[in-house]
């Protein structure tokens, strides 16, 4: 079944910002890749959280400056994943049709047949969104999510707006 690349990108960005990257890959039909991205992200999240906690405790709070470098990396992961997903969904792989001929024994063709370079598949990229369009979409989605989160926090009474 043909899946919509734009919906896959939106799912990847939205769930990526919700700490569940890989959902767009699973929707697109790349289940193994999506599960690996999700598991790898959570493993990295746990390891980095433990290391930052230990580093902050050992340095008596000075290690918290490392969060300035970690937060942009976590914001970039869904964007990079969405760009890769879009490229993968708009890619066409054409396998070359080569009929191998039986080489003569003790000839140069035998050596090339056994150890030579194989024909590589040809990758054709269909026209789709450019990388910067995906980044703009990601930024707009992040802004919408922050606004929605603030409205939700105000509705729940967690944040009291100034009068």
- What per-residue confidence (pLDDT) applies to 32? 92
Residues of the chain with pLDDT below 70 are 1, 93-128, 161, 163
pTM over 0.85: no
Give me the residue spans of the domains in the chain. Answer: 5-156
| pLDDT tens, position by position, 128-153 | 677 788 888 888 887 887 788 778 87
- What per-residue confidence (pLDDT) applies to 101? 55
Q: Which among 2, 42, 5, 45 has a CA at the least distance from the CA of 25?
A: 5
- What per-residue confidence (pLDDT) applies to 23? 95
- What per-residue confidence (pLDDT) applies to 144? 83
108: phi > 0 → left, psi -120 to 50 → alpha, else beta; which? alpha
Q: Which among 35, 23, 22, 27 has a CA at the least distance from the CA of 2?
A: 27
The kind and range of the H/E element at 22 are: none
- What per-residue confidence (pLDDT) applies to 91? 78
**H-state helical runs in 59-130:** 67-89, 108-115
- What per-residue confidence (pLDDT) applies to 96? 60
């Amino acid at each position: 079944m043909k899946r919509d690349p734009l919906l896959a990108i939106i799912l990847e960005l939205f769930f990526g910002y919700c700490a569940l990257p890989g959902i767009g890959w699973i929707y697109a039909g790349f289940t193994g890749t999506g599960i690996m991205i999700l598991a790898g992200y959570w493993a990295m999240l746990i390891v980095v959280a433990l290391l930052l906690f230990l580093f902050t405790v050992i340095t008596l709070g000075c290690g918290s400056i490392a969060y300035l470098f970690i937060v942009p990396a976590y914001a970039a992961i869904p964007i990079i994943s969405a760009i890769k997903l879009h490229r993968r969904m708009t890619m066409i792989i054409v396998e070359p049709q080569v009929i191998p001929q039986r080489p003569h024994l003790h000839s140069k063709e035998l050596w090339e047949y056994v150890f030579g370079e194989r024909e590589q598949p040809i990758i054709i990229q269909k026209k789709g969104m450019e990388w910067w369009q995906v980044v703009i979409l990601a930024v707009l989605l992040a802004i919408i999510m922050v606004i929605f989160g603030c409205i939700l926090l105000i509705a729940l009474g967690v944040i009291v707006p100034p009068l």
